[in-house]
């Protein structure tokens, strides 16, 4: 039993370590559109908060979650609600988005220095 608790504790600490790496500003482009995009993320346990920034318009992210190196959140824009899912790998996050009507795409952002 102690071994199980030890392993569970290590897994939990590892997920927090990945989450801590996401804090800060991230910048990149929407694939195929060459539209600059930025995100500001803040991790609090398994909750992800922050902002989506395109053309100087800053929109808060909603329903943000962190599970290890996987993230998910939504952004509501004039065009509708966009669901994002991504994977954090070092200084890069590769995300996909879905606007609910079948429109999907990819976003790759890197951590700003």
Delineate the domains of the chain, giving CATH numbers in brackets: 2-111 (2.40.128.120)
**Token couple for 77:** 């824009």
pTM for the predicted model, two decimal places:
0.79
Residue 100 phi, psi dihedral angles, 5° rounding? 85, -10
C-beta of residue 71 within 8 angstroms of C-beta of residue 65: yes
What is the model's pLDDT at position 37?
95
Q: Cα separation of 96 and 66, whole Å? A: 15
Q: Cα separation of 81 and 97, whole Å? A: 10
| Burial class (CB within 10 angstroms; exposed 0-12, middle 13-18, buried 19+) of 86 | buried
Q: Cα separation of 50 and 36, whole Å? A: 17
How sure is the predictor about 36, in pLDDT bands with cuts at 50, 70 and 90? very high
Tell me what the pLDDT averaged over the chain comes to. Answer: 86
For range 93-112, the mean pLDDT: 93
What is the model's pLDDT at position 92?
96
β pairing state of 57-60 and 62-67: unpaired
Whether residue 6 has pLDDT greater than 80 = no
pLDDT digits (tens, 9 = 90+) for 85-100: 999 999 999 999 999 8
């Amino acid at each position: 039993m102690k071994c199980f608790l030890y392993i569970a504790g290590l897994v939990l600490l590892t997920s927090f370590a990945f989450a801590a790496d996401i804090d800060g500003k991230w910048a990149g482009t929407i694939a195929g559109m060459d539209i600059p995009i930025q995100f500001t993320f803040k991790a609090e346990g398994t909750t992800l908060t922050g902002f989506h920034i395109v053309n100087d318009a800053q929109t808060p992210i909603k329903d943000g979650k962190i599970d290890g190196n996987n993230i998910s959140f939504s952004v509501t824009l004039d065009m509708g609600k966009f669901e994002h899912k991504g994977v954090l790998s070092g200084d890069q996050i590769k995300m996909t988005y879905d606007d609910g009507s079948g429109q999907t795409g990819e976003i790759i952002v890197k951590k700003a220095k």
